[in-house]
Structure 1
């Protein structure tokens, strides 16, 4: 894949978990595709991914499933 930042063919898509909001408004979205370039070191979300995240956030009642989530502090 070609990196949108540096134009090299070193970009790869990896999937991560992202959290949005906090407290009772917290929404965790799993399997978010993030483009990462090993040449320039940049990571970014495509416009399509950003639009899908906004759609999920807007319609969270339709997509989200309630889960109990344990939280640990680093260090």
Structure 2
């Protein structure tokens, strides 16, 4: 199974795709390995050199009343 995770928000948003995720055969809980977590940290640190710019559609779920 693979996962997608957003990191940051607004102009600093980075979406990491294709993250390997494991599921426990007993309880079904999903988790990342330590190696995967280290790679996520590396990607975040090198975001400007490893990220590819893409247009992202954004929708508002509901208007917030002040």
TM interval, shorter chain, is 0.7 to 0.9
Q: State the number of aligned residues.
A: 62
Aligned to 2:24: 37
TM-score normalised to structure 2 length: 0.82
Identify which of structures 1 and 2 has the higher relative contact order when contacts are C-alpha pairs closer than 8 Å and 6+ apart.
Answer: 1
Q: Residue 48 of structure 1 is aligned with which of 2, 10, 35? A: 35
CA RMSD of aligned residues (A): 1.7
Query: Structure 1 or 2: larger strand share?
Result: 1
Long gaps (5+) in structure 1 = 1-13
Cα distance in 2 for partners of 1:41, 1:47 equals 18
Deviating beyond 2 angstroms after TM superposition, the runs of 4 or more aligned structure 1 residues are: 71-74
